[in-house]
Structure 1
Amino acid sequence: MCINPRASILMTFLLSCVAAGNMAVAADPSPTDLSRINIGELSQVQSETLLFTAQAARARAKEDIVNGAKTTTSVPVQTTQNAYTTPAPASNSTTQLPVVKTVFRMNNALYATLLYGSGFEVDASVGNAELPGGFKVISVSLDSVVLGHDGRRYPNVTADTQACSSGAALGYESAVQHVAGFSAMSGAVRIEPDIEADPLARQVARPTAVVQPITIAMQSDVVGTVLTAEGNRWGDITSELRQLVALLAPAPEAEEAELLVSSQHMHDPYVMAFMDRLDRAGVPFQTISSTLSDIKSLYQNAGKAFAGSIDSTQRQQEVIRIIGAAHARRASDVHFIVGHEITYIKFREDGLLREYGQIQSAVGNELCSSLFNSMCDVKSEGYYQPELKQDARMARTFLDQLGLSGARVATRPLVEGPLMVLRLIYDDQEKQSVDDLGFLPEQNLLFKRLRSLPYGVIILTGPTGSGKSKSLQVQINLLAEECKGTKHILTVEDPPEYPMRANQSPLGSNESWGESITNSVRLDPDILMYGEIRDLESAQGALRGGMTGHLVLSTLHTNNAVAAIPRLIDMGADTSLVTDPTLIVGLINQSLLPTLCKKCRVPARSQISTLDPQLVERLEKMTVLDQVYLAGPGCSLCRDGVNGRAAVAEILLPTHRFMEEIRKNGPSAARQYWVKHMDGITKVAHTLIKINTGLIDPRMAEAVVGPLDFDSYMLDAEAPEAEVHAQ
């Protein structure tokens, strides 16, 4: 008879258990009776599962001996139980801290499956009544679950038995405890370190054996500390490896540390060796795709990052933890939606809004209040008033801790409670050219021509969150580089966002845009950048700057480039001025589209049956279908199949004939003239180029820019032929 290695170890272990008297076999003849088990016929998964439960039984027996109460325990074969078939836990077991088995969504709420020591399971969410053992769920997120008991908070960990997202194989368990304000993180504990995890075992549910966790104190690790920085716990790595990875200490409620790895070096042998070293040391971590510049910035700020969080209030620490999690995901916005009972926290990642977690409404209100009152330096009102709409800017102290360039805060009362949204602004040093942002080579040439002009007004338009400020930063930095310091570049922003090679000034708290623009012209500028044209006064100020010999750049909210002209007229600006091509010299409109992960994207043709028939018709008409890809399921390099965003845009340099079309026949006729006679590339046409190169999912594209055949019927022109541009 051939006995597999796990079965052999199991036999030796079970016999040693019986011989030691630490475990007795059930009298009832069942598969748990050693005399009835044919060890050689057990599969690897079955034998390993039985081994786990046997070890758990011995651990419980040893614990009973220590407590002076030696007991007899049978070895159960069935290790997976549920709340419907398992009796409620006994009173002596409910005082144990339950383990979070998994987190799932139901009826727009997040639920945690809590597993007690006896195997009893309970599904609970924020706001539930008291649970067995007197526990309550304080907050639930995809990363962590926090329980409450007798006024104390107990951060716990999620252990998704289906996806094994933490990277732990079958036989690993971990727990987080919170005692008297001291947070500790346990290492992943393997019950049998001499047995390699079976690949098949990774695909089955983790057994619910009771495990004694090994606790690794994390008192000295402030949330977000770069553990791989010199002098820290894992700071002994080489300087070459430090350029590729950064290990961040976890938040108190988090199960895992965060290992940021350069997306280009995920499979570098030295990176893989370091991951293996962490695994062997029992350090649970999640891998996050990052950039070389972000990793470099983390180490540059390592000495001061999060240094103030220890002395900050508890609510400030919680806000920092949430924003830090958003930063790790490169989220552009953080939403706090406070309801009657639950506060929902959402992140906008790659243009898509995703739920991060849920907390009690009282806690949500406290977080919003703490953020506005104590973490912002410029505020529309002196203190947080949830019944009012308010604006604020996060203080530089906290921005430096978080590694952000800026963070705008806006609030508004809703029917059920206040809404607070933070716009996070990153200093992305890797994207410092027009090509990096996703513009076409033809568009790059148009930008270059606009930068060469001595005066005039350039207006960059688009919806909120379309990347206008980032594009302005790139253009200002290129202007500074090209003039080699011979020109004075001055900005007026509300508030200053991205750092630029210019003299940046904030809009004064009691200063209007018109007043600030009038003042800026007196400061001997050559180039002026105004953050936004908001009203007639600011529009007139921008036009006045262009008329007095300055090159002026600003932004406006419109749906397309041509629409900027009627928008200014609607504000009350003089029609003869805004239709003068020597004054309005450039009109740009842009949007941002999620870019597909090249590792897990899937060909559209292979999924054609799942697509809307009308979309398929548009794809067959407007694209080369074999070159079109859809978002994949997600992989180690991305989230949900997308990885970053790119601009799609239209750039228009007005001529006298174009402006004449606007005056005589309106913006629609002028737009047709631009496309037919000025070789204009519309935003939809730019989108089609990116779809045809496999960069953009057509479904995501249509959600932002509209139907792919929009130009063909709006411009009353033939549909553009599908073409592929080199990117």
Structure 2
Amino acid sequence: MVMTFRSKTPQVDLNTHPIQQGALQLVPESIARKYIVIPLVVADGALKVAMADPGDISTIQVLEARARMRVEPMLASSADIRSCIDRNYKKYAEIEQQFEPVESGAAAVREQEKSLAEAVAEAPAVRALDMLISEAVKHRASDIHIEPQEDALRVRYRIDGVLQDTVSLPLSAHGPLISRIKILASMNIADHRPQDGQFSLIVQNREVNIRVVTIQSMYGQMSVLRILDKSFGALELPETGMLPGPLGKYQSMLRSPFGMILLSGPTGSGKTTTLYASVNGMDHKTRNVITVEDPVEYRLRGINQIEVNPKGGVTFATGLRTILRLDPDVILVGEIRDGETAEIATQAALTGHLVLSSVHANDTVGSLFRLLDLGVGAFYLSSAVVGVVAQRMVRKVCPHCRHFTQAPAEAQLAYNKELGEDRTEFSYGKGCPACAGTGFLGRTAVFEILAVSEEIRRLLLTGASAAQIRARAREEGMVSMWRDGMLKAKTGITTPCEVVRNVYCIE
């Protein structure tokens, strides 16, 4: 019976299979050694675990009780498992071991406040932060979250848009680590009010810029580090994920000599990437392209980029006013946040300039109503706007371990309802070394592109509702983000589950 069970259990090569940091946090080293198991990865709500005896139901039950999730066993030899335990638990223990236990309580906090400058000079904090950033870059993380809890310091990475537990450090690490971050980011280490800063460093022979935010939370100061890898240049528009039809429509908008093109979506939805790709493909030799951004995330060759600096008197509004005196052809405004910026951008679009910008809205039609809410008149808005793009990010199926499997019932229903196809199996990733066992590798965007036609201009002028404008846009061929996502699931780029998870469906 055991041999039959083993023959059906997938084998794993622990010498090449990556170990997800968050998985290690679910099973303590003592339990891993006692039961000769090694947690590999958390995927699709299950913890994959390498076991010498995958048929040991009692061990699986212990692991499920500890991890509080379903366990999927994989087969590996006892020797390989023990060696893997030594390598991986030791790696993350090295970060923890940088910090010796210190006195707890208010007295320790006061003492730490007195010696913050000395604390950041301690080698443990320096080494620990270097290791955390290096691992984050290695795993393609976009953000590092450092969060004090009641009894530990939690560190998480955001990889492909999903937060993953990385390591749990002793609370004694909190003060030195936050202070080290503040020193690098040129912040006031004694000030617990919200602060922003940045610093750059070379990681794995690549220039990396780190944007830092700190704020006081219930258990102390938390910090988020946004990682911007300068080695990555701006994408070309076809690389953003636009399908051929929407891509052609958007490129036609960009050829307009004047007018406004808006991009919408929440933070982290890829708006800046699309804006950069839009201006990166323009003729920089015969056109003056100027941007005002907060912050300048990537340097674009041949484009004049201005960074918002409120302390220096440069806001989106003041920067935009100045740009209009610099003989621009194309203006990129990072974000329209207020009525003043909205008004200036609209006037610029009406006076012979092509203006690209972003707003926070759920979809394309919502973007138009957002500008109305900011005080732009319907006449000026309908005259200025050429088109609107809304987008969301979804994870891409790993091409190295792609296989067909049945999707959950909810995802099947959503797909079948949108595309009218009775389909149950879709491309999913099994999990492999290339994707760190997650089944996903990289992300792409799903888009909704609205070209503002004469009929839509008329609807705006007559005070039509969002539902009426949306219905007309669909009659004219607009593909919703929901449908665009399901079309990408159809071709195996992503999964219907990813579309359901990330895209808001407006009936």
Q: Structures share a fold, TM > 0.5?
A: yes
The 1:204/1:464 distance shift into structure 2, 3 A limit, reads same
The 1:633/1:416 distance shift into structure 2, 3 A limit, reads farther
Give the drift of 1:361. Answer: 2.4
1:473 aligns with 2:276: yes
Determine the C-alpha separation between the residues in 2 that align with 1:208 and 1:457: 59
Residue pairs, 1:284-299, within 5 angstroms: none
The correspondence for 2:259, drawn from 456, 481, 495, is 456
Determine the C-alpha separation between the residues in 1 that align with 2:206 and 2:129: 14
User: CA-to-partner distance for each residue in 1:159-184, whole Å, 9 max, x for gaps?
Assistant: x9749xxxxxxxxxxxxxxxxxxxxx
Residue pairs, 1:671-710, within 5 angstroms: 671-676=470-475, 678-706=476-504, 710=505
Q: Contact 1:326–1:347 at 8 Å: present in 2 too? A: yes
The correspondence for 1:542, drawn from 345, 359, 366, is 345
The correspondence for 1:633, drawn from 412, 430, 437, is 430
Aligned residue for 2:286? Answer: 486
Decide which structure has the larger Cα Rg and report it: 1
Aligned residue for 2:238? Answer: 435
The correspondence for 1:500, drawn from 289, 300, 307, is 300
Determine the C-alpha separation between the residues in 1 that align with 2:122 and 2:293: 30
1:342 aligns with 2:152: yes
- Bigger relative CO (Cα 8 Å, ≥ 6 apart): 2
The 1:664/1:538 distance shift into structure 2, 3 A limit, reads closer
Determine the C-alpha separation between the residues in 2 that align with 1:315 and 1:523: 47
Q: Going by fraction, where is helix more abundant, 1 or 2?
A: 2
User: CA-to-partner distance for each residue in 1:597-652, whole Å, 9 max, x for gaps?
Assistant: 13323423xx35xx24x443334444545584253331122131001111100111
The correspondence for 1:594, drawn from 395, 400, 416, is 395
User: Runs in 1 of length 4+ with deviation above 6 angstroms?
Assistant: 102-106, 207-210
Aligned residue for 2:194? Answer: 389
Determine the C-alpha separation between the residues in 2 that align with 1:471 and 1:587: 12
The correspondence for 2:446, drawn from 648, 651, 657, is 648
Determine the C-alpha separation between the residues in 2 that align with 1:633 and 1:400: 30
Q: Contact 1:316–1:371 at 8 Å: present in 2 too? A: no
Secondary structure at the counterpart of residue 585 of structure 1: strand
Secondary structure at the counterpart of residue 558 of structure 1: coil
What 5-or-longer segments of structure 2 have no aligned partner?
1-19, 42-48, 53-73, 96-120
User: CA-to-partner distance for each residue in 1:56-82, whole Å, 9 max, x for gaps?
Assistant: xxxxxxxxxxxxxxxxxxxxxxxxxxx
The correspondence for 2:130, drawn from 314, 320, 336, is 320
TM-score after normalising by structure 2: 0.74
Q: Contact 2:412–2:424 at 8 Å: present in 1 too? A: no
Give the drift of 1:591. Answer: 0.8
Determine the C-alpha separation between the residues in 2 that align with 1:615 and 1:209: 39
The 1:161/1:688 distance shift into structure 2, 3 A limit, reads closer
The 1:448/1:384 distance shift into structure 2, 3 A limit, reads farther
Determine the C-alpha separation between the residues in 2 that align with 1:616 and 1:652: 27
Secondary structure at the counterpart of residue 141 of structure 2: coil
Determine the C-alpha separation between the residues in 2 that align with 1:586 and 1:615: 31
The correspondence for 2:413, drawn from 597, 613, 617, is 617
The correspondence for 1:667, drawn from 456, 462, 466, is 466
User: CA-to-partner distance for each residue in 1:547-605, whole Å, 9 max, x for gaps?
Assistant: 3322111111111011111111222333332232xx1112111111001113323423x
Give the letter for the 1:206 counterpart. A
User: CA-to-partner distance for each residue in 1:68-124, whole Å, 9 max, x for gaps?
Assistant: xxxxxxxxxxxxxxxxxxxxxxxxxxxxxxxxxx99969x86633289xxx9x699x
Aligned residue for 2:178? Answer: 368
Give the drift of 1:336. Answer: 1.0
Q: Contact 1:161–1:205 at 8 Å: present in 2 too? A: no
Aligned residue for 2:109? Answer: none
Q: Contact 2:51–2:81 at 8 Å: present in 1 too? A: no
Give the drift of 1:358. Answer: 1.0
1:203 aligns with 2:72: no
User: CA-to-partner distance for each residue in 1:477-532, whole Å, 9 max, x for gaps?
Assistant: 101xxx25112211111111022131112112412322222122222222211211
TM-score after normalising by structure 1: 0.53
Give the letter for the 2:471 counterpart. Q
The 1:207/1:440 distance shift into structure 2, 3 A limit, reads closer
Secondary structure at the counterpart of residue 78 of structure 2: coil
Residue pairs, 1:543-622, within 5 angstroms: 543-580=346-383, 583-604=384-405, 607=406, 611-612=408-409, 614-622=410-418
User: CA-to-partner distance for each residue in 1:631-677, whole Å, 9 max, x for gaps?
Assistant: 3331122131001111100111212320222342211110110001x
Secondary structure at the counterpart of residue 689 of structure 1: helix
Secondary structure at the counterpart of residue 681 of structure 1: coil
State the identity %: 25
- What's the Cα RMSD here? 3.5
Q: Contact 2:40–2:50 at 8 Å: present in 1 too? A: no
Equivalenced residue count is: 422
The correspondence for 1:414, drawn from 217, 225, 235, is 217
Determine the C-alpha separation between the residues in 1 that align with 2:472 and 2:422: 30
Give the letter for the 2:468 counterpart. A
